[in-house]
Chain A
Amino acid sequence: MTRRRSRRPPGRTPPPGRRAFPRAAEAEAEHQRVIRQRATALFILLALALAGLGARLVSLHVVQAGALERMAARQQTGEFLIEPRRGRLLDRWGRSLAVNVDAESIYAVPSRIADRRAFARAVAPAMGLRADDVLSRLVPDRHFVWLARKVEPQTAAAVRRLGLGEGIGFLTEPRRQYPNGTLAAHVLGFAGIDNQGLAGAELAFDHYLRGRAGLARVERDAMGRPRLETRTIVRPPVDGADVVLTIDQVLQHIAERELDATLATTRAAWGAIAMLDPENGEVLALAVAPRFDPNAYERVPPERWNNPVLAHTYEPGSTFKVVLAAAALDAGAVDAREVFRTGGSLRVAGGYVIREARGRRFERQTLADVIRNSSNVGAAMIATRLGVRRYHDAIRRFGFGAPTGIDLPGEASGLVPPPEQWRGAVLQTAGFGQGVSATPLQVLVAGATLARDGLLVRPRVLRAVRDPDGRAIEVPAPAAGPQVVAPQTARRVLAMMVEAVAHGGGTQAAIDGYPVAGKTGTAQKPSPAGGYLPDSYVASFLGIVPADRPRLAVLVLLDDPRGEYFGSVVAAPLFRAVASQALWHLRVAPSQAPTAAR
């Protein structure tokens, strides 16, 4: 049997046996009504509150979600760039010419320095700075100021020993280093404090060397400090590629050593030696003296950074006669066997008189004699025969008056006046290299063009580009230049240059066992006030060796040597010293039996 229970709400009906009082019932009903009202009000309030919260949630999670996420990411995570490693500069055999090492940079946090004056007094001597300089950088409200970038390890250690607490910090950064010091400084150039190329190959090949910065993201703690263990690489850095130059470190050293020695004896203002392979235009050495140390480039005046082989223009003097000879022969204006009655002087338009150097006198000369004797009068007569238009065009075809296109920055064009400006004796003086200006590289390229059977040589210093793993990613092919003169013309001029070294003014350039084709030059320096300086010359020598199968084209130039100043006396021996060692280094076998063995 089931037991029945009545569900009686408490207070609604009086318990059995108890009498219900109407007044109490009313009071209870009223009480319940009040409770219902309050419950309803409370429910409404709660519902409103919940609705408000819901609306706020929708606002936060839907409407403002994007902005808030960005704000949170900004506050909780940080992004920083990962600097790539700059590529190295290597010589043609892979020897390091410019590398990177880690160096420490020192920064200060001025907002955390109580006594800035005392701080500056403490830290300045350790860094080799003046206390006032340090103090001027400590702007009170700043949180970060550089004190010194990429300092030597001992400097960083000395500053660290000061124990300056939170007011100072250290960062490791890559620093460009040139392990050979001043070697090839004008070719390499230098990179700036932020590892950006500023001069030379560093600037020219910066797009290969600099790489691409990466991006990393890191979470921050409540204090805003990065939690390095949470670092994620968003975009990995791409290290810069290594650039292999055509420079041969040993040849460069030979050229610089011999140039320094000659500069010391001749007391020339400056000198340069440029050496290239005429077959492909690769620059093997490019020496300039005086040099600078690219590790401390800021210690020399900026003028010293210029590479004069590319940027300096001068009147080439007698070395230019080979251009005249090639132009005259190629145009058929002169026959190689034709004899010119040159005499000792020549009166030309405008009343100018052209004379031989050093008071010499040659009565009858062929074109080969003009080259061998370096005859100014003969050159003037041949130039007159050739004429302005044809000579001007030939000069331009050899590349004068325009940059050679070498892959280094700062190249000058030189100056070749247009034909309509060749008034007076310009044509005649241009025959022996006066009245036109050229860079040393342009003169060298002209010589190399003759060595290459008349094909214009495009000089270059970039041999290859390698990725950080050593794989070649770019190997530029030698650019084929136009045919400037016929091959047989080039060979005939080369033969004349061989004669000039064997029996002419360039005897001091002769190298035992190797036929040398060369031409000396002694050019007067123009005066800023017009005319020429009385006792100021540029001595030069343009040589090609071995003449029968050219491997080297070399230009030697000495600016304003004191004492002996003729190219045949100061520049030709320098050529011989450099070229003979270069041939040994390149293992070029002699073409002729050495004199001692004959």
Chain B
Amino acid sequence: MIAPRPRARFYPVWLPDGAARRQPVVRRRPRLHPMVGATVMAVLLTLPAVLYVSVRAYSAEAGYTILRLQHDLARLRAEHARLSLQVAALKAPQRIERYATKELGMAPPRQSQLATITVGPSIARVEVPAGGGGVFRTVVGWFGGGEAEARERPR
């Protein structure tokens, strides 16, 4: 049987020269204990997961809060609608009239009980006295009063 002969292999190695050897020995930094490194690594790896889970939990909790508030809103709306219905039924003219006539002994007014008050021109039209200083008043109205006051013409 013919087997290949193992080939010799040479590996070049750089060796420090004499000057380098004479250099003072630098103290190496103390290495961390492997457990510490593993713990830090574990924390670094776990922290995002914990953050992610907590954010998701917070989001879910907020979702449930929103859902509960939506239910509250729907319930309150339903209650409002029910109360509105009740108010409308209580304010129905036939009910009020029935209550007034049956319970309170009231009666519709007769013609003789009604009086028409004629509002004369002296009451209906109140003359605004002509204010002095038209331009001054207008300018003051612009800065100190409302738009209506500024635009109102003195009579």
Q: A residues touching B (Cβ–Cβ < 8 Å)? A: 2, 4-8, 12-13, 20, 22, 25-26, 95-96, 99-102, 172, 177, 179-181, 183, 228-231, 249-250, 253, 256-257, 512-513, 580-581, 584, 589-590, 594, 596
Whether B8 contacts A6 by the Cβ 8 Å rule is: yes
**Shortest CB–CB separation between residue A256 and chain B, in angstroms?**
8
Chain B residue nearest to A24 in the complex (CB): B1
How distant is the Cα of A257 from the Cα of B86 in the complex, in angstroms?
A: 22
How distant is the Cα of A20 from the Cα of B82 in the complex, in angstroms?
A: 105
Which among B29-37, B106-114, B120-128 touches the partner chain? B106-114
* A229: contacting residue among B8, B64, B108, CB under 8 A: B64
Chain B residue nearest to A26 in the complex (CB): B1
| Chain B residues, CB < 8 A from A584 | 109, 114
13 sample A-B contacts, Cβ–Cβ < 8 Å, listed by A number? A2-B13, A4-B8, A4-B10, A22-B1, A99-B81, A179-B85, A180-B89, A180-B94, A181-B94, A512-B111, A513-B116, A596-B111, A596-B112
| Chain B residues, CB < 8 A from A100 | 81
How distant is the Cα of A49 from the Cα of B107 in the complex, in angstroms?
A: 98
Among B9, B92, B93, the one with the most A-chain Cβ atoms within 10 Å of its Cβ is B93
**Shortest CB–CB separation between residue A302 and chain B, in angstroms?**
25
How distant is the Cα of A580 from the Cα of B111 in the complex, in angstroms?
A: 9
* B6: contacting residue among A8, A253, A512, A513, CB under 8 A: A8
| Chain B residues, CB < 8 A from A13 | 3-6
| Chain B residues, CB < 8 A from A20 | 1, 3
Whether B85 contacts A99 by the Cβ 8 Å rule is: yes
How distant is the Cα of A499 from the Cα of B145 in the complex, in angstroms?
A: 57
| Chain B residues, CB < 8 A from A580 | 111
| Chain A residues, CB < 8 A from B13 | 2
| Chain B residues, CB < 8 A from A179 | 85-86, 88-89, 92
B153 part of interface (Cβ distance < 8 Å): no
**Shortest CB–CB separation between residue A66 and chain B, in angstroms?**
29
Whether A581 contacts B108 by the Cβ 8 Å rule is: yes
| Chain A residues, CB < 8 A from B89 | 179-180
B78 part of interface (Cβ distance < 8 Å): yes
| Chain B residues, CB < 8 A from A12 | 3-4
| Chain A residues, CB < 8 A from B57 | none
Given contacts A2-B13, A12-B3, A20-B3, contact A594 B63 (CB under 8 A): no
Whether A253 contacts B114 by the Cβ 8 Å rule is: no
| Chain A residues, CB < 8 A from B9 | 4-7
Chain A residue nearest to B12 in the complex (CB): A2
Whether A177 contacts B85 by the Cβ 8 Å rule is: yes
Chain A residue nearest to B13 in the complex (CB): A2
**Shortest CB–CB separation between residue A560 and chain B, in angstroms?**
26
Given contacts A99-B88, A253-B93, contact A229 B60 (CB under 8 A): yes
Apart from A12-B3, A180-B94, A596-B112, what are 18 other A-B pairs with CB-CB below 8 Å? A6-B6, A7-B6, A22-B1, A25-B3, A96-B85, A99-B84, A99-B85, A99-B88, A101-B81, A172-B78, A179-B88, A180-B92, A183-B93, A229-B63, A249-B93, A257-B97, A589-B118, A596-B111
How distant is the Cα of A101 from the Cα of B80 in the complex, in angstroms?
A: 9
**Shortest CB–CB separation between residue B56 and chain A, in angstroms?**
12
| Chain B residues, CB < 8 A from A99 | 81, 84-85, 88
Whether B1 contacts A589 by the Cβ 8 Å rule is: no
How distant is the Cα of A132 from the Cα of B67 in the complex, in angstroms?
A: 41
**Binary CB contact string for chain B from 2 to 43 against chain A (1 if under 8 A, 0 otherwise):** 011111111111000000000000000000000000000000
| Chain A residues, CB < 8 A from B67 | 228-229, 231
* B84: contacting residue among A5, A96, A589, CB under 8 A: A96
Chain B residue nearest to A254 in the complex (CB): B93
- B residues 77-103 with Cβ under 8 Å of A? 78, 81-82, 84-86, 88-89, 91-94, 97
| Chain A residues, CB < 8 A from B109 | 584
Whether B6 contacts A101 by the Cβ 8 Å rule is: no
5 nearest A-B residue pairs (beta carbon): A179-B88, A25-B1, A253-B93, A96-B88, A6-B6
How distant is the Cα of A456 from the Cα of B67 in the complex, in angstroms?
A: 57
Whether A257 contacts B94 by the Cβ 8 Å rule is: yes
| Chain A residues, CB < 8 A from B60 | 229
Whether A2 contacts B11 by the Cβ 8 Å rule is: yes
Given contacts A8-B6, A20-B1, contact A102 B78 (CB under 8 A): yes
